[in-house]
Amino acid sequence: MTTGTPPPTARKRSRARTFVPLAIAAWAVLEIWLLTVVADVAGGLTVLLLLAAGVVLGAVVMKRAGRRAFRNLTETLQQMPGQPGAGGSSPAPSSTRGNGFLMLAGLLIMIPGMISDVAGLLFLVPPVRSALSRYAERSLERRMRAAGPGSLSDAFQQARMHRPDGKVVQGEVIREDPSHPDDDPRPPLTP
């Protein structure tokens, strides 16, 4: 019996779904290898102290970045029109940039490993952080312009209404309420 819909075909796996797990596995192996090399040269206790210092430093960086982001948010909310004491000035753009990269730096420093520590320490350098922030902002603006208006909500709506196999299930909700007697019943739905 045919239903008129073609059989579902397997979608091709994206490159990111293929290579990201491989890259993470290679990164983890490289981190472990580098830790063993450093442990052979400097000793196991030194590596343990480096890892503990990384966790503490990463936590401090993340805490400061969180406080900075919260302070910027409260300043922005206090300067909104209609708020008491709202002035016409806006906060300096340099003070609001890079909080996300500071948090990422703290997270990378907290992750055990030398490569992630070096990457996290690079994110702490203000010129690197501002360059990455500008690049991320330009990239996001370019992708938003290419997406067109309403594409995200349209995609969500399509994903919500259609089942993966393409079938549409029709039905009717019948609520039996004893306080409202049904005088004339509705006919059933026919396809």
Look up the pTM and report it. 0.62
Amino acid 94: pLDDT? 46
> With contact defined as beta carbons under 8 Å apart, do 123 and 105 qualify?
yes
Phi, psi of 165 (to 5 degrees): -85, 0
7-16, 80-89, 134-143, range with the lowest pLDDT: 80-89
28-37, 58-67, 76-85, range with the lowest pLDDT: 76-85
> With contact defined as beta carbons under 8 Å apart, do 189 and 171 qualify?
yes
**pLDDT(123) > 50:** yes
